[in-house]
Structure 1
Amino acid sequence: MPRRTATMLASTLMLFALLCAGVFIKVPYSEMSPGPTVNTLGDSHGEPVIRIADHKTYPAGGHLNMTTVRVTGADYDMNLLEAVYGWLSDDNIVVPHENLYPDGKTEEQSTQENAEEFSQSQESAKVAALKQLGTPGVSTRVVVSTVVKGSPAEGKLHAGDVIRAVDGNPVNAPEDVAKLVTKRKAGEQVEFTIVPAAEAAEAEKAHREPTGSSKVVLTTAKAEGDGHAVVGIRAGTDHTFPFAIDIKLADIGGPSAGLMFALGIVDKLTPGDLTGGKFVAGTGTIDDTGKVGPIGGIQMKTIGARKAGAEYFLTPAENCGSASEHIPDGLTLVKVSTIDDATKALEKISKGDTAGLPQCGKP
């Protein structure tokens, strides 16, 4: 066999062997890529994303798109070839598996956590939007979010119970519950004053504050680690609104759509178009006060937004640094820290007065 032919054959066989090795060698990485975007002013699967009842609404044009990121599942075993392809791609990011699924979190656990965060983000979006508009009638209360199986609270407290007081001390924020319980020693009794979840749900449907209360006495258990007293619940917040606001979006999780939901609500409740008919996308968590927080996968979201047609992208201030590392052509990254920042920026965009927009990557 001629030397040149033998060399080419050996090289081909080596390349084939490397490709095979790349397929079969598993690596501890996951991949993030741009996900779909959805206009919060429009429909999804034939239904309005935001539906408001018992209150005057106005037609809203343009786009206020929330953005998403696709990630490989917790059980997906990435091979070396896929990892190399992801590292070389401009539209994907390869990250350590534990970044997306810390402490061995399963797919089911991650999905449940994302669903809870998504639900909470919707509630905060409603509160922030109505506060931005100065709408009266919004009230907040502390509730039982989850009950740990096998804990002292199981069967005695339930998700949705309103927590009025602990040992007679009023509860005004979720963190108050843990502070009051840990004043007890493990094995001691602690008294909860609650409104049962069923009554709270009926009151919420009627847009009124829940009434009536009952006492529940629990014997605290010892927490792992420092052994402080626990009862086995996680406290959260729930709200009563002056009219019905329903947000429906299937197969989406996490808290990062909060800002765009809030802006969608504001647009539907005010005359005219908040965007001036422009295509605006964005992301960011939001709390009850209207503060916008950072999210993950910002570069994937800007890529997805631009591919969908967005010209402007509302970017949490804390994400500006990483977002500015790769800005898709034709997309302006607008820096926002609050819902008020976002509405003011949209006012400028709608008027075409964009010279003074606070932009990521610019002083």
Structure 2
Amino acid sequence: MIASFVVLAVFGMSGSPYDRVGPGPAIEVGRPEGGSWSVLTARVQRSNWLQYAKAELTGERTIRADGGGSGGDKGPPRSEDVMSTSQTHAVLVAAQLAAGRAPLAAAGLQVTAVTGPARSTGLHPGDVLLAAGEAGDLTPLRAPSDLEAVTVRRTTVRVLVVPYGSGGTWGTAEIRRMPAGRLAGAQAGPAVSATAYPLGSVEGPSAGLILTLARVDALTPGDLTGGRRVAGTGGISLDGDVTAVGDIPEKVDAAAKARMDVLFVPIWQRSVAAAAAKGTRVRVVPVRTVSEAVGWLCAAGGRAPLC
């Protein structure tokens, strides 16, 4: 019996092929006047066989470390590349919303160098050129050839620019009128990379929605939170749509533990979020777009020019 107990103990303490998924910390971003913006996270932890058995008995979700599922789907890939894309989308969408514009479904071109006569355009390395053309007829910029096309046979051109500031952040989108010939001399490429707020080791796309809202709030006067503790989970596309993410129940649990007032979730996952929030004080608000989230906050007491 003693030998059997030792064998079981050794086996139980050995590593299993399963990870445990639980609520992670709520990470505050931005500096609103009254409330707060928080990115919700889920924590994935390696487990031995004893921890795995306990998780199965208590209902804690587990996933296979190799990507397979047990008790639920693993959700979107957690990678630095996905987080970088989410950060960039948040910066570009927020810059346009803060300017009162509908977001363009294009990442634009990022200025890499401005030399010679092109300096008179007022552009700087890091600026993002989203669209260009005539007034009221701007063409989204997706490749350097698009910029070349809009400057051909024109003396002046209007450009939708997201300016890069000296503090390492991007400002509100603005339309600038520039000499076409000098604009053509600016070097710009498609490798757009921007960071709304650094999140350390957090990975995946699910911070996109809150990063966008916090950035909109920072770019406009007032307090869009309306004094509320606002959290959210959801990816963000370049046209401002909120996309589905993984680990919804765990993030709802994280919101409840952090005593959030409002939790924005993708409308496609409202049923899962509502079920997880049952019995808590968290108000789940499903949204299709970031503009819907802004509209809800305005109707709930947010104080900003967009309201």
Q: TM-score range by the shorter chain?
A: 0.5 to 0.7
Are residues 1:309 and 2:264 paired?
Answer: no
Contact 1:38 1:67 in 2 (8 A): yes
Contact 1:280 1:313 in 2 (8 A): yes
Count of matched residue pairs = 236
Equivalences for residues 6-21 of structure 1 within 5 A = 18-21=8-11
Aligned to 2:12: 22
Q: Secondary structure at the match of 1:271?
A: coil
Aligned to 2:20: 31
Distance in 1 (CA, whole Å) between partners of 2:99 and 2:27 is: 27
Q: Secondary structure at the match of 1:98?
A: coil
The one-letter amino acid of 1:87's match is E
Equivalences for residues 55-74 of structure 1 within 5 A = 60-72=33-45
Which piece of structure 1 moves more, 113-122 or 275-284?
Answer: 113-122
Aligned to 1:332: 283
Q: Could you tell me which of 117, 125, 139 is aligned with 2:90?
A: 125
Equivalences for residues 39-118 of structure 1 within 5 A = 39-42=28-31, 60-72=33-45, 76=46, 78-89=47-58, 92-99=60-67, 114-118=79-83
Equivalences for residues 129-208 of structure 1 within 5 A = 129-134=94-99, 140-141=107-108, 173=142
Which piece of structure 1 moves more, 117-126 or 12-21?
Answer: 12-21
TM (norm. structure 1) is: 0.54
Consecutive unaligned residues in structure 2, runs of 5 or more: 70-76, 111-128, 130-139, 148-161, 171-175, 303-307
Deviating 4+ runs (over 4 angstroms):
12-20, 135-139, 171-174, 192-195, 203-214
Alpha-carbon offset, residue 205 of structure 1: 5.1
Aligned to 1:217: none
The one-letter amino acid of 1:248's match is P
Which piece of structure 1 moves more, 300-309 or 15-24?
Answer: 15-24
Alignment root-mean-square deviation, CA? 3.9
Alpha-carbon offset, residue 304 of structure 1: 1.0
Distance in 2 (CA, whole Å) between partners of 1:323 and 1:16 is: 43
Contact 2:94 2:215 in 1 (8 A): yes
Q: Report percent identity of matched pairs.
A: 27
Alpha-carbon offset, residue 100 of structure 1: 7.1
C-alpha distance 332-246 of structure 1, shift in aligned 2 (>3 A):
closer
Distance in 2 (CA, whole Å) between partners of 1:39 and 1:349 is: 21
C-alpha distance 31-318 of structure 1, shift in aligned 2 (>3 A):
same
Alpha-carbon offset, residue 98 of structure 1: 2.8
C-alpha distance 135-325 of structure 1, shift in aligned 2 (>3 A):
closer
Distance in 1 (CA, whole Å) between partners of 2:252 and 2:84 is: 24
Alpha-carbon offset, residue 258 of structure 1: 0.8
The one-letter amino acid of 1:29's match is Y
Structure label with greater radius of gyration: 1
Consecutive unaligned residues in structure 1, runs of 5 or more: 1-9, 43-58, 102-109, 144-161, 163-170, 175-191, 196-202, 215-234, 352-363
TM (norm. structure 2) is: 0.63
C-alpha distance 100-344 of structure 1, shift in aligned 2 (>3 A):
farther
Are residues 1:269 and 2:238 paired?
Answer: no
Which piece of structure 1 moves more, 285-294 or 78-87?
Answer: 78-87
- Deviations along 1:40-74, one digit per CA (max 9) or x if unpaired, are 224xxxxxxxxxxxxxxxx53201211111113xx
Alpha-carbon offset, residue 125 of structure 1: 0.8
Aligned to 1:287: 237
Alpha-carbon offset, residue 237 of structure 1: 5.7
Distance in 2 (CA, whole Å) between partners of 1:297 and 1:172 is: 35
